[in-house]
């Protein structure tokens, strides 16, 4: 087990996926400085309903993009692993930030190419229905992690996804979610269009008697 500086957030980060952060609190300015100087990662454990989860994404800092007066900064990070938390020290040692004792969790990226294409096609359909202009991932080298935060899942669902070690099982999880969500969105969009038509003159055809 190792001690890892942690930065709890009300979001889920994923291995291999980028995450841009604006750092404004002094304790996390110190965390970034320590991670850069020592070339070490930090962890993002999701925070849900006032409770910190025991699962955590291990993050590396790719770059500090911009610094501001007072020490605030914009940083680029990316996920490099998943771990579980067994103990937290807050603050850790003589630092301003907390750290967690962690154990690495295994995960794989070997998915089913056909399921990957199906997921992308469903995401495309969802975006078209919602009139969302976003580029779709390339099927080549696709993993669920690359679209997990863009698939319309709740925070609880994203946390559950992070706990799944197998890419094929993650694909099944997201497919179930999309197959359930798309008909609901379609119905809501139909309802929205009907509401917008209220008050308009309608050209209707009477049914045959």
pLDDT at 185: 85
Quote the distance between the C-alpha of residue 104 and its chain's center.
19
pLDDT at 133: 83
Per-residue pLDDT of the chain (209 residues; tens, 9 = 90+): 578 999 999 999 999 999 999 999 999 999 999 999 999 999 999 998 888 899 999 999 999 999 998 899 999 999 999 999 999 999 998 999 999 999 999 999 999 999 999 999 999 998 888 888 888 888 888 999 999 988 989 999 999 999 999 999 999 999 999 999 999 888 877 777 677 666 555 555 656 65
For the chain, which domains are there?
2-105 (2.30.130.40), 113-197 (no CATH)
State residue 3 phi and psi, 5-degree precision: -95, 135
pLDDT at 129: 85
Cβ-in-10-Å burial (0-12, 13-18, 19+) of 77 comes to buried
pLDDT at 85: 96
Distances (CA, A) of 38 to 34, 78, 168: 6, 17, 36
Instruction: Output the pTM of the full model.
Output: 0.85
* 3-state DSSP of 47-85: EECCEECCEEEEEEEEEEEEECCCCCEEEEEEEEEEEEE
């Amino acid at each position: 087990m190792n001690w890892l500086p942690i930065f709890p957030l009300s979001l889920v980060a994923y291995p291999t996926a980028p995450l841009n952060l604006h750092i404004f609190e002094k304790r996390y300015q110190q965390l970034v400085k320590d991670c850069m100087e020592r070339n070490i990662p930090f962890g993002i454990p999701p925070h849900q309903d006032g409770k910190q989860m025991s699962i955590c994404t291990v993050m590396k800092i790719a770059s500090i993009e911009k610094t501001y007066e007072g020490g605030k900064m914009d940083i680029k990070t990316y996920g490099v692993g998943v771990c579980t938390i067994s103990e937290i020290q807050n603050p850790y040692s003589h630092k301003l930030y907390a750290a967690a004792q962690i154990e690495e969790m295994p995960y794989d990226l070997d998915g089913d190419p056909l399921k990957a294409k199906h997921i992308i096609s469903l995401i495309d359909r969802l975006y078209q229905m919602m009139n969302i202009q976003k580029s779709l991932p390339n099927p080549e080298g696709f993993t669920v992690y690359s679209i997990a935060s863009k698939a319309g899942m709740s925070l609880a669902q994203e946390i559950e996804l992070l706990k799944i070690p197998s890419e094929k099982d993650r694909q099944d999880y997201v497919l179930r979610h999309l197959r359930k969500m798309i008909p609901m969105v379609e119905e809501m969009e139909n309802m929205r269009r009907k509401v917008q038509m209220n008050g308009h003159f309608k050209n209707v055809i009477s049914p045959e008697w």
